[in-house]
Amino acid sequence: MIIRERQKSRIGSIARACRIVGRMNKNDPDNHKSELYHYDMLATYFERLQKAENEKTPIAGHTVFFPIEILYAMDIAPLHTETVTLLTALFMGNPTDYLAAGAELKLAPEICSPHRALAGAYSLGIFPRPDVMLWSNLICDNSAKSGELIAEMNQCPPFFLEHAFGSSTEEIDYLVAEMQDLIAFLEKETGHKMDWNKLSESVERSDRQLQLLNEICELRKAVPSPLYNRAYLESRAADQLFAGQPEATAYLETIRDELKEMVSQKKGAVEPERFRIMTLFIPPMHLVGFLDKSLKSHGAVSVVEPFFTYWEECRLDPSKPLESLAKKYYAAPERRTLYGPLGDETIRTLVNCAREYKVDGAIYYAFIGCRQSNALIKLFKDELNKIDVPVLTLDIDLVDTTVNNESEIQQKMEQFFELLEDR
């Protein structure tokens, strides 16, 4: 398995792009302090990777929902393969190049596009070579399968972290033992030792971050709802890239404070607020601006994303860091739905969210690459229709810009909001 002649990775360019976008936002009179912080955080992430590449300190490639608190505590730079691919494609504007390179590797078009694109990006030498490749089966077959190929392409040692399907004590303990094996593997392969004090501090901060995420969710119940539409995507990046790190705490505190202030002033993110929307699954990053504008023009605001930002109540104990991390990943909103098993509790959460957040309608982003999310569209529609919440389904792709037709999406949105208006 060949990687094309490796030049210097493009990570430095992406870091610069984040700084530039951040500066542009600074000059925007409508900017939010939290959003400036978001771009600053992204730039820091890529700069850290660039530094690791230049100084030849360990980089760990890893898939989505990986316990990066462990990596930070061992002073290993994490490279979140899916998020970095999406951001890179967004900033560099060349997702089709990555997808074409993925196709050259013989990855079928039915494989989820972020995974085809990330393999393609690696084969093009866009990312720095990881010293180790880590992946898990959270959240789907794609994440469970993609690591082996990336490890082989980069000729680096692999580690597959397995999450059991169910949530019995034995299954949670299984994950804890897997994490112990992961640490032993990292110590052996990178020569970096686990700093248990650092890990405990990280877990303590992760606990704080989960509480902040819950506070943010609570504040969004206000009428009008205070969180600007794209912020829920941005807030997820804090956990994906900086879980347990001071940057994520500072960012989430900034958002929380902004929301508190807006709620006290009875100000909404969209004014006048006409429709309160539940978002199911996620929109593509490259359409966020367009969707933001479109929702705003209809007076619509996303108030809750039950399976994306809505965490289960979960407290972490820094004195038991691995047990706590296992608990955290069991409480993740995406695990409940995308990984399953889909229990009655998950369906109750969906319905309760619709009621508690006074939702007028739901938008389901049907990402063609996500089988487990799309298989729930009918079931969720059936449940939401029982409580008189209409659902709009938009077919999208997270990477492939050629799949998304803005005018078609616009038209469907118009019809949907007309329907809501008539009610």
Partner 1 sequence: MSEADKNLTARFPVLERFEETNRSFPKTREILEFKAAGKKVIGWLCTYVPEEVIHAAGALPIRITGYNQEMELEDGTAYLYINNCSFSKSCLQLGLRKEYDFLDGVVGGSTCDGARRLFDLWRYYLKPPFFQVLTVPRKNHERAQELYYHQVAAFKDHLSEYLGVKITDQALLNSVQVYNESRALLQELYDLRKLDQPLITGQETMQVLNASFRMPKEQFNKDLRELIADLKQSNRGFPAKARLMLIGSVMTNPEFIRSIEELGVIVVTDELCTSTRYWSDPVILEGAPGPLQAISRRYLNNFPCARMYPSTERFDRIVKLAKEARVDGIISENIRYCVPYAHDIPLLSERLKEENLPLLTLDVEYGTSGSGQIRTRVQAFLEMVEARK
Binding region for partner 1 (CB under 8 A): 1, 105-108, 110-112, 115, 119, 137, 140-142, 144-146, 148-149, 152, 160, 162, 164-166, 170-171, 174, 177-178, 340-342, 366, 368-372, 374-379
Q: Are 38 and 58 in contact (CB under 8 A)?
A: no
Q: Which is nearer to partner 1, 351 or 368 (CB)?
A: 368
Q: Which is nearer to partner 1, 29 or 341 (CB)?
A: 341
Minimal distance, residue 402 CB to partner 1, in Å: 17
Q: Which is nearer to partner 1, 150 or 303 (CB)?
A: 150
Distance CA 419, CA 190 (A): 57
**Residue reference for tokens 């990046």:** 237
Concatenated DSSP letters of 297-325:
HTTEEEEE-TTTT-PPP----TTSHHHHH
Minimal distance, residue 279 CB to partner 1, in Å: 18
Minimal distance, residue 47 CB to partner 1, in Å: 32
Structure tokens at 396: 């999208």
Minimal distance, residue 141 CB to partner 1, in Å: 4
**Residue reference for tokens 């009621």:** 355
Minimal distance, residue 340 CB to partner 1, in Å: 5
Minimal distance, residue 164 CB to partner 1, in Å: 5
Minimal distance, residue 108 CB to partner 1, in Å: 4
Region for residue 169 given its phi and psi (left: phi exceeds 0; alpha: psi -120 to 50; beta: otherwise): alpha
Q: Which is nearer to partner 1, 9 or 142 (CB)?
A: 142
Q: Are 15 and 47 in contact (CB under 8 A)?
A: yes
68 backbone dihedrals φ, ψ, rounded to 5° = -70, -15
Q: Which is nearer to partner 1, 123 or 309 (CB)?
A: 123
CA atoms 23, 29, 31, 33: torsion sign: positive
The 10 Å CB-count burial string (b at 16+, else e) for 353-371 is bbeebebbbbbbbebbbbe
Q: Which is nearer to partner 1, 345 or 418 (CB)?
A: 345
Q: Which is nearer to partner 1, 237 or 354 (CB)?
A: 354
Concatenated DSSP letters of 383-414:
HHHHTT--EEEEEE-SS-TTT--HHHHHHHHH
Distance CA 104, CA 98 (A): 10
Minimal distance, residue 33 CB to partner 1, in Å: 39
Q: Which is nearer to partner 1, 193 or 378 (CB)?
A: 378
